[in-house]
Structure 1
């Protein structure tokens, strides 16, 4: 195949590389957390935290249920811990880097790859 014929594929290759780098960044928990706000409840049966998600302008965009991925990084007060989520975290602020999907339930649900609780 000549070089001239492979140029139409170049934008596709660049797009795939960009998407691959973006998902890698999300997995590492780099950049701004997509979910941040105050933890308002703990659902003991499912081990999930309910967070009032805040937008950049300070307005809330609604609650979201967060569970920890089995390989998630959980940081509480600056220390990485391996404890399960519990009700003692209610009222604290959290920043959460999530997986690629959010269930369209009420409230929405997703899985945390990294969670920092202050």
Structure 2
């Protein structure tokens, strides 16, 4: 195949790659939670809950401190609420979708963009 033909395929390949990436961003709302487990502690000063994170299959991946990002969605018992995290959530199970960063501390810390409390 000549170089001209190869170069003429480049725009088609780029369009297909772009459409593939756009499709994934639409499906992000359906992805699995990044953190899942039982809330074991609450830190009032920082507004964080400590979640004993369990991966799929029940594998313990360790605790993680989670706080809410500025415009996070908090769902408690199936209803979206506007209250902040508090000590009444200790002992309940949680599913958390995080933003882009996890602070490398022990335990790690992150901010949730969506948190569902059961």
Task: Note closer, same or farther for the CA distance 1:34–1:11 as it changes in structure 2 (3 Å cut).
Answer: farther
3-state secondary structure, aligned to 2:103: coil
Residue 42 of structure 1 is matched in structure 2 by 42
CA–CA distance in 1 between the matches of 2:100 and 2:19? 17
2:114 is equivalent to residue 109 of structure 1: no
Alignment: residue pair count: 115
**Greater gyration radius:** 2
Return the offset for 1:101.
1.6
Taking structure 1 as the reference length, the TM-score comes to 0.82
Mark the runs of 5 or more structure 1 residues left unpaired by the alignment. none
Task: Considering fraction of residues, name the structure with more strand.
Answer: 2
Q: Offset of 1:22 from its aligned partner? A: 3.7
CA distance in 2, matches of 1:15, 1:67: 35
CA RMSD between the two structures: 2.2
Unaligned runs of 5+ in 2: none
Q: Structure 2-normalised TM-score?
A: 0.82
